[in-house]
Structure 1
């Protein structure tokens, strides 16, 4: 079985696990957001990319709202398949519209380059790897941003129930610098 096939199987398992974690613990997302904001306190003022949650992703909006009082916050915009993401400035009261893949994006594009990226995921492991949806958007984006600024941080945000020990990792999978759940902050 190829790595691609193994990742597809792992994604199916991870989607189910995330859905169960979301159903059982969505009210704990606020705790994860508080841990995330605390973790990012030393980085106040840096441009931070959040995301607009889709499906059963943990909701980062409470953290993004708090972070917006300390510095610029932006959200990803998919411009096309197999390309890095663009990031547009976001504020808690900005007008949003439906973007690609069902995620909302700011109605007015004001592109910025983030220094910190909060990354959604299907699963994570204790080695700092994430299993995403398979489009490679965050992997390409992290690699591109780190080529020009090695200090760019990528932080996974997830429910603790999304932890999986075994899923394939390829050389193109960009590692995370930290993972924040409702119970802990893991750094790598």
Structure 2
């Protein structure tokens, strides 16, 4: 992915940063305690949305406690859709996406992530893992700002957040660099915005 510029670091004002920090603790605990059977329902809701796109589609290789989209990656690849996965660069830069296929060699990345040993490609659609979300479309990540910088660098890419319904909170604070989503997908529904 080549961006014309690197967006600024995603530093929230102190009051918003403190509220997000407290919510991250709550949402991380809910994610770890969830019934992982919900993951299949999320994939079931995502599949028809993704089949409408030619790709490349940016999926996510999960960390141990995250929603596992690997079955979805395989399904998309077997239907001929190009799948890319993120490589996490040093802090302050947007994610880099590399082409993945079922036979790809996976390499160890930063923060316990894995990415394929494939060519760099720019996605047309980005799936965004959510630690938390609200009905207004606000989202909560891990706090590194990677997806905010990435989405800012890809203004024309479709953006779909996904999370178990257990991750919904009544209200999330929104910082000046938070990037909006087109929709959020849970195992129960697709919540659309704009």
TM-score normalised by the chain length of structure 1 = 0.90
CA drift at 1:70: 3.1
Matches of 1:67 and 1:60, distance apart in 2: 11
Residues paired across the two proteins, number = 179
Structure 2 matches for 1:35-114, cutoff 5 A? 35-43=45-53, 45-68=54-77, 69-106=79-116, 108-114=117-123
| Residues 1:14 and 2:27 aligned together | yes
- 1:185 corresponds to which of 181, 186, 190: 190
CA drift at 1:167: 2.2
Q: Secondary structure at the match of 1:2?
A: helix
- Structure holding more helix per residue: 1
Report the RMSD for the aligned CA atoms in angstroms: 1.3
Matches of 1:82 and 1:55, distance apart in 2: 24
Matches of 1:92 and 1:134, distance apart in 2: 30
Listed as ranges, the gaps of 5+ residues in structure 1 are: none
- 1:140 corresponds to which of 141, 145, 149: 149
The residue number in structure 2 matching 1:122 is 131
Structure 1's consecutive aligned runs of 4 or more residues displaced over 2 angstroms after TM superposition are: none
Listed as ranges, the gaps of 5+ residues in structure 2 are: 1-13
1:53/1:103 contact within 8 Å kept: yes
Q: Deviations over 1:38-93 (max 9, x none)?
A: 122221x2210001111321111111111112311000011210110000001122
Matches of 1:110 and 1:41, distance apart in 2: 22
TM-score normalised by the chain length of structure 2 = 0.88
